Amino acid sequence: MFEIHDVAYKDILHVKHLTIKKGNVTSIVGQSGSGKTTLLRLLNRIISYDQGEILFHGQPLHRVDPIALRRQVVMLPQNPAIYNGNIRDNLLIGLKFSEKPMVADDSLYKILKLMKLKKELKENTDKLSGGEKQRVALGRILLMEPEVLLLDEPSSALDESTEQLIIEVLVQYTKSNGKTMVMVTHSKKIAGQFSDEIVEIIKDQPVNQREGV
Cα 125-131-24 angle, rounded to 5 deg: 115
Q: How far is the CB of 183 from ligand ADP (least distance, A)?
A: 12
Give the other-Cβ count within 10 Å of 39's Cβ.
Answer: 25
Name the binder of 174 from ligand ADP, Mg ion, none, CB < 5-8 A by kind: none
Q: How far apart are CA 147 and CA 119, in angstroms?
A: 27
Window of 32-40, 119-127, 143-151, 159-167 that interacts with ligand ADP by CB under 6 A? 32-40
User: What's the order of all strands across the beta sheet hosting 59-60?
Assistant: 59-60, 51-56, 2-9, 13-20, 207-208
Among 23, 33, 66, 85, binds ligand ADP (CB under 6 A): 33
**38 touches ligand ADP (CB under 6 A):** yes
Question: Binding residue for Mg ion (CB under 5 A) from 37, 125, 134, 187?
Answer: 37
**Which residue intervals of 59-159 are DSSP H helices?**
66-72, 87-97, 105-114, 130-143
What type of residue is 84?
N
Comparing CB distances to ligand ADP, the nearer of 32 and 84 is 32
Kindly state whether residue 12 participates in binding ligand ADP, applying the rule CB under 6 A. Answer: yes
Least distance CB 185 / ligand ADP (angstroms): 11
Closest approach of Mg ion to the CB of residue 181, in Å = 17
